[in-house]
Structure 1
């Protein structure tokens, strides 16, 4: 069971819990010792039964929380975190969404979405050679990062890629493309921090601004020169914003 005051970090599509490894060193010791980073179904070392449901994953994680937790969700993981916060408000102390979204594709009532996505192409490449193309993806996210930070992310690759391509690539991508969490925003009452990179082409800042405009209690943080993994490329700035947020609401 997850202990009280635990921080729950939820990774995104195609990744696994090791994506958060470099961030841990930038957090104060109490936070380092008290966090939980599960793998989504069919990602990393987590089993996969053929079903990938954002609602079900949120329910399963909520069942493990024995006290209000601090949630951090990245990309698809943010959709899981948002769903958990909406369905189980009593189990959430704070919510941090980074490079996340409530809907992926654009519509007549949602111009903030993408007109098209290259994620299907990414899925094909991940199945072809996961270590090669995941390393390429991460390197693209680090174009404007400090050299020392780039080195720390490069050292992450062996642990990150040890499981091979996620079994749930297609199912999770389908869930991501079909999800529309906009109705859940009215159920979010906890403090919310929104952290986005101004060079993110996968979840552009306008997606976060849409959430920010509809959550009056939310706080906005846009990191210059950061792309889709601001916690990797700009860990010091990200950790500072996150810790200050936690301190204000703990």
Structure 2
């Protein structure tokens, strides 16, 4: 069976993909660890060192940045690609300023309040007061911890513009986004879709940035189609 490598987003752990791990339990699954390195390139290398020889690759948000780096480094090893709630562009000056503020806040005031500060941006507006979802997000962030958070932020700030390489992607590709994602909005997913030949775009209704948890059934259904060759567009 074709293995799947899932790469979580910033401050996220394997819990982010819990519904999909259950759905694909008939095949080998690896959830990548992106907490130990300070650059996207180093994270990509560490994943390639531990991943199967060939595999399907799915990354959400920061996981998407890493997945695009893996595609640059070892496209021959990737059987198919899913880019979920992510962005192919580098950070803007304003985004870098905000991220550096979060690092400063973590260093000077501690990490405890950071997950609560970030939570509203992670989910659809309708889930802003959902205590169960918030508890899940805070649990993932707490497991990640402040030191790893700072490393992740530095990696995200330093990432490159992936747009020039997207046209080179030849494997079946799914681009998915929540219609209420404010961090990496549908316009960014549309841009990725238009740049990757033959890719499929899926917009999930009533869903924010953490699509795999917010709309697990809808996202899993799209991923099952993605794993089925016959349902994907062939490259143009």
Pick the TM interval, shorter chain. 0.7 to 0.9
1:192 aligns with 2:173: yes
TM-score, length basis structure 2: 0.80
| Partner residue of 1:102 out of 88, 111, 131 | 88
Aligned residue for 2:225, secondary structure, equals helix
1:38 aligns with 2:38: no
For residues 144 and 39 of structure 2, the distance between their equivalents in structure 1, rounded to whole angstroms, comes to 21
1:120 aligns with 2:100: yes
In structure 2, do the counterparts of structure 1 residues 198 and 214 end up closer, same or farther at CA, with 3 Å as the change threshold? same
Unaligned runs of 5+ in 2: 232-236
- Residues 141-160 of structure 1: matches in 2 within 5 Å? 141-144=123-126, 151=132, 154-155=135-136, 157-158=138-139, 160=141
1:19, CA displacement in angstroms? 4.0
In structure 2, do the counterparts of structure 1 residues 76 and 163 end up closer, same or farther at CA, with 3 Å as the change threshold? closer
1:151, CA displacement in angstroms? 2.6
1:66 aligns with 2:55: no
Q: For the Cα contact (< 8 Å) 2:5–2:51, is it kept in 1?
A: no
Q: For the Cα contact (< 8 Å) 2:115–2:141, is it kept in 1?
A: no
Q: CA RMSD in A?
A: 3.0
Aligned residue for 2:220, secondary structure, equals helix
1:56, CA displacement in angstroms? 2.7
For residues 156 and 177 of structure 1, the distance between their equivalents in structure 2, rounded to whole angstroms, comes to 22
In proportion to residue count, which structure has more helix? 2
Structure 1 segments of 4+ aligned residues over 3 angstroms from their partners: 118-133, 135-140, 155-160
Residue 110 of structure 1 is matched in structure 2 by none
Aligned residue for 1:225, secondary structure, equals coil
TM-score, length basis structure 1: 0.76
In structure 2, do the counterparts of structure 1 residues 166 and 243 end up closer, same or farther at CA, with 3 Å as the change threshold? farther
For residues 35 and 153 of structure 1, the distance between their equivalents in structure 2, rounded to whole angstroms, comes to 26
For residues 106 and 204 of structure 2, the distance between their equivalents in structure 1, rounded to whole angstroms, comes to 28
1:90 aligns with 2:70: no
Q: For the Cα contact (< 8 Å) 1:102–1:180, is it kept in 2?
A: yes
Q: For the Cα contact (< 8 Å) 2:87–2:188, is it kept in 1?
A: yes
Q: For the Cα contact (< 8 Å) 1:75–1:99, is it kept in 2?
A: yes
Deviations 1:120-156 (A, max 9, x none): 34444555453543145345515435x9x86366256
Count of aligned pairs between the two proteins: 226
